[in-house]
């Protein structure tokens, strides 16, 4: 399989697969609001799809959708003076008429409509025009008595569109690949930050202006190097609007890791292992090699029972999560596996292991799933590689296991909200 074929299949695998359902929900919300504020039932007028979906940079599994509803100008007098919270409540009530059993809530800036595998954040806005004739929107902030803030999504969408066309349509594809990397490695980055960094990178080079899938291995390598070399800063300026885009967490270290993985994958271009190496960068949606597909169909002494979270739930990482393992020894207090790994230590056989979430910034309640994957010769000889997606079994979202046989094993944890994986972390478990 050529580099071109691999990346073309990869991008095909990333395409949003529920666009019809998303458009239906957008239309019904729009119709509800038009009926409330304009006495019409249009499913398209007076609304703008924004965010990653509106910029055409979203991928399969997208769960955080955004829309603006443009309020009638005549309504400004009703809401302009400290009525931001009332506006959001009126929008919520209008949507509730259409979806009486759906979870619809007023947040500080938006109304959130939560469906089974995605949610829509509806932001009512009033359109204004500046002295240069450029449109912008005022949106309500209900915090601390209320205020009006400004957003310029049209300028952002136009900037992405124009540079994408100038770069052989590679900008949006790069944004999509970066999202796959983000979801694979649990990198906490908002969609606009990803698009801004991809925009800045593509704007800084002419190397890929006339290139296509055949060069996407180099495109990946150079983009991750660009991100790894970024200085620490708390925000960037969004393309088009020049508005601040917040940096929630440092991304440089994980980008540096991705760069190193890209180098190894490029070096292995002619080897059967090349697909697996790119999977380490981009995850489940990167295509398997022909050899791997043949192996999956052939008889073997052990069963490949590994499951993948992407096959069960949409993945759209928005929060950070950190796990550790308490290694219970025969004597003394349990030891932290993370600290043991830092010192180059492994785990002896016949130890009790308790995997825990030690840090997270997830808002509200969430569910937890685990994957315990055994690796190595002994795991295969025992026909015990495991790897199924499982629930916690030890209370407090923890997982109790035991160190039974040698191998460089692997444990991953997933946090779910509304049926969507919003955070993930993994840890190596070397048993001696």
Alpha-carbon separation of residue 304 from 117, 380, 387, 390, 408 (angstroms): 28, 9, 9, 16, 17
| Nearest residue to 194 (alpha-carbon basis) of 99, 58, 291 | 58
Q: Tell me, what's the pLDDT at 418? A: 86
Query: Which residues does 26 contact at the CB level (< 8 Å), separation at least 6?
Result: 43, 47, 49, 65, 67, 120
Mean pLDDT of 89-103: 95
Is the pLDDT confidence value at 411 over 80? yes
Which residue is associated with the tokens 């489940």? 284
* Report for 54-63, 193-202, 393-402: range of highest mean pLDDT: 193-202
> DSSP letter at 145?
G
Categorize the per-residue pLDDT at 298 as very low, low, confident or very high, splitting at 50, 70 and 90.
low
Q: Tell me, what's the pLDDT at 378? A: 87
Q: Tell me, what's the pLDDT at 7? A: 98
Categorize the per-residue pLDDT at 351 as very low, low, confident or very high, splitting at 50, 70 and 90.
confident
Query: Which residues does 280 contact at the CB level (< 8 Å), separation at least 6?
Result: 261, 265
Q: How far does Cα 252 stand from its chain's mean position?
A: 17
Over its C-alpha atoms, the chain yields an Rg (Å, rounded) of 24
| d(C-alpha 273, C-alpha 268), whole Å | 7
Categorize the per-residue pLDDT at 242 as very low, low, confident or very high, splitting at 50, 70 and 90.
very high
Query: What distance separates the 2 farthest-apart alpha carbons in the chain?
Result: 75
pTM for the complete prediction?
0.91
Q: Tell me, what's the pLDDT at 155? A: 96
139 by DSSP, 3-state: which?
A: strand
Is the pLDDT confidence value at 294 over 70? no
423 by DSSP, 3-state: which?
A: strand
Q: Tell me, what's the pLDDT at 299? A: 55
The tokens describing 201, both together, are 């990178």
Average of per-residue pLDDT values in the chain: 93
Which residue is associated with the tokens 């991008």? 11
| d(C-alpha 91, C-alpha 94), whole Å | 5
Q: Which of the following CATH numbers is that of domain 19-151: 3.40.50.620, 1.10.3720.10, 3.30.460.90, 3.30.70.1400?
A: 3.30.460.90
pLDDT digits over 168-178, tens only? Answer: 999 999 999 99
Which ranges of 83-185 does DSSP label H, i.e. alpha helix?
84-98, 153-166, 170-185
Categorize the per-residue pLDDT at 293 as very low, low, confident or very high, splitting at 50, 70 and 90.
low
Q: Tell me, what's the pLDDT at 296? A: 54
| d(C-alpha 110, C-alpha 29), whole Å | 13
Q: Tell me, what's the pLDDT at 218? A: 98
Categorize the per-residue pLDDT at 277 as very low, low, confident or very high, splitting at 50, 70 and 90.
very high
Q: Integer distance in angstroms from the first to the last C-alpha of the chain?
A: 37
Rounded to 10 deg, the angle between the 170-185 and 191-203 helix axes is: 130
| % of residues, the chain, pLDDT over 90 | 83
Is the pLDDT confidence value at 159 over 70? yes
205 by DSSP, 3-state: which?
A: coil
Mean pLDDT of 254-266: 98
Domain layout of the chain by residue ranges: 19-151, 156-262, 300-431
The tokens describing 393, both together, are 């079994």
Q: Using alpha carbons only, what angle is made at residue 262 by residues 259 and 265, rounded to the nearest 5 degrees?
A: 160
pLDDT digits over 359-400, tens only? Answer: 999 999 999 999 999 998 888 888 999 999 999 998 889 999
Is the pLDDT confidence value at 209 over 60? yes
Contact by Cβ (8 Å): 363, 345:
no
* Fold agreement between 19-151 and 300-431: no
Contact by Cβ (8 Å): 417, 115:
no
Categorize the per-residue pLDDT at 355 as very low, low, confident or very high, splitting at 50, 70 and 90.
very high
Mean pLDDT of 330-352: 87
Query: 300-431 — its CATH code?
Result: 2.60.40
Is the pLDDT confidence value at 404 over 80? yes
Q: Tell me, what's the pLDDT at 302? A: 85
Categorize the per-residue pLDDT at 144 as very low, low, confident or very high, splitting at 50, 70 and 90.
confident
Contact by Cβ (8 Å): 235, 244:
yes
Is the pLDDT confidence value at 295 over 90? no
Q: Tell me, what's the pLDDT at 423? A: 97
């Amino acid at each position: 399989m050529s580099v071109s074929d691999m990346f073309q299949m990869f991008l095909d695998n990333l395409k949003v697969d529920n666009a019809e359902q998303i458009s239906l929900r957008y239309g019904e919300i729009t119709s509800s609001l038009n009926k409330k504020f304009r006495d019409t039932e249009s499913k398209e007028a007076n609304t703008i799809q924004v965010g990653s979906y509106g910029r055409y940079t979203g991928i399969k599994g997208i769960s955080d959708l955004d829309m603006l509803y443009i309020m009638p100008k005549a309504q400004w007098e009703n809401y302009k003076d400290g009525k931001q919270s009332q506006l959001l409540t009126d929008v919520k009530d209008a949507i509730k008429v259409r979806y009486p059993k759906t979870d619809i809530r007023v947040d500080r800036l938006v109304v959130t409509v939560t469906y089974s595998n995605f949610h829509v954040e509806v932001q009512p806005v009033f359109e204004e025009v500046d002295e240069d004739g450029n449109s912008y929107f005022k949106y309500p902030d209900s915090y601390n008595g209320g205020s009006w803030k400004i957003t310029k999504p049209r300028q952002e969408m136009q900037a992405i569109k124009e540079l994408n066309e100038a770069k052989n349509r590679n900008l949006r594809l790069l944004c999509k690949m970066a999202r796959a990397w983000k979801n694979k490695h649990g990198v906490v980055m908002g969609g606009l930050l990803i698009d801004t960094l991809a925009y800045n990178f593509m704007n800084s080079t002419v190397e890929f202006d006339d290139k296509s899938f055949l060069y996407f291995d180099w495109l990946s390598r150079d983009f991750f190097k660009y991100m790894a070399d970024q200085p620490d800063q708390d925000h960037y300026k969004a393309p088009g609007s020049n508005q601040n885009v917040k940096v929630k967490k440092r991304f440089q270290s994980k980008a540096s890791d991705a760069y190193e993985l890209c180098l190894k994958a490029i070096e292995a271009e002619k080897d059967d292992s090349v697909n697996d190496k790119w999977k380490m960068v981009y995850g489940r949606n990167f295509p398997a090699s022909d050899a791997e597909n043949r192996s999956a169909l052939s008889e073997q002494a052990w069963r490949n029972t590994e499951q993948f979270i992407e096959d069960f739930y949409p993945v759209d990482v928005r929060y950070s999560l950190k796990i550790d393992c308490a290694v219970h020894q025969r004597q003394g207090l349990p030891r932290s596996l993370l600290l043991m790994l830092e010192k180059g230590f492994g785990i002896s056989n016949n130890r009790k292991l308790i995997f825990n979430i030690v840090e997270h910034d997830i808002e509200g309640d969430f569910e937890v799933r685990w994957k315990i994957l055994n690796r190595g010769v002994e795991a295969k000889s025992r026909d015990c590689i495991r790897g199924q997606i499982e629930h916690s079994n030890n209370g407090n979202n923890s997982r109790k296991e035991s160190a039974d046989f040698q191998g460089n094993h692997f444990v991953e944890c997933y946090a779910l909200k509304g049926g969507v994986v919003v955070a993930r972390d993994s840890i190596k478990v070397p048993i001696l």
